[in-house]
Amino acid sequence: MLAGRTAVITGAAQGIGLAIARTFADNGASVVIGDLDEAKAKEAAASLATESIGVQCNVISAEDVARLLETATATFGSLDIMVNNAGITRDATMRKMTEQQFDDVIDVHLKGCWIGTRQAAGIMRESGGGSIINLSSISGKVGFVGQTNYSAAKAGIVGLSKAAAKEVAHLGVRINVIQPGLIRTAMTEAMPQKAWDQKMTEIPMQRAGEPDEIASVALFYASTLSSYMTGTVAEVTGGRHI
């Protein structure tokens, strides 16, 4: 489905990002993994089914992101798909949250997504189009206790993506959003059992999702199957908070 295309994915050395990278590679794409941890990025790229590379990248640095995208185009000849996935959490109640914890999460998620979207769209508009996929969260729809920073950032990604989609649609650049719910990763499995059990009661399908189930939606958005879709938000949540 993605043969001959080049995909850049940030924060893809592990978790959901790595699952997306594997799915894209399995469908023929050349993949460039951007991650803060250069060694893990290179290790992850080496594990993929197609020729792929890992690059150190801090998404809040416009210079780092530019270098990441330039590496992709120089190595593989194009930039067809951009997935802004990199993220962090700094959870705390609003009363206890520091300004630094708030700023860090807004910077990585929202500003990082803006930088990635802006730069990728700039390249794609000159080459006839492409697909940008931004990772939000169900937290951006509902708002969770202890996540005033994260919920704000993830809600902002939706607004950013919709506005940007309107600006570049006529140039063949599509921008869509995925909002995962409770997905089984190392991070979520480290939650206290009580918190996990409480979240499970909110899911009509009565199970957590798997990273591959996010990756398959990313594949849909990256491919021509979604050629008439832009500015949309896909909730991949097992029915949670519908």
Q: How far is CA 239 from the centre of its chain?
A: 20
The helix-helix angle for 148-168 and 112-127 (nearest 10°) equals: 20
Active site residue 150: yes
Alpha-carbon distance of 159 to 181, in angstroms, equals: 19
CB 178 within 8 A of CB 218: yes
Alpha-carbon distance of 110 to 157, in angstroms, equals: 6
Alpha-carbon distance of 81 to 5, in angstroms, equals: 8
- CA dihedral for 29, 78, 12, 168, sign (positive or negative): negative
What are φ and ψ of residue 178, in 5° steps?
Answer: -115, 130
User: Distance between terminal CA atoms of the chain?
Assistant: 30
| Closest by CA position to 12, among listed 59, 60, 50 | 59
Here the tokens at position 197 are 């059990």
Marked catalytic residue, from 24, 76, 102, 150: 150
Task: Please name the residue that has the structure tokens 């990772």.
Answer: 135
Alpha-carbon distance of 73 to 70, in angstroms, equals: 5
Q: Which residues are catalytic?
A: 150
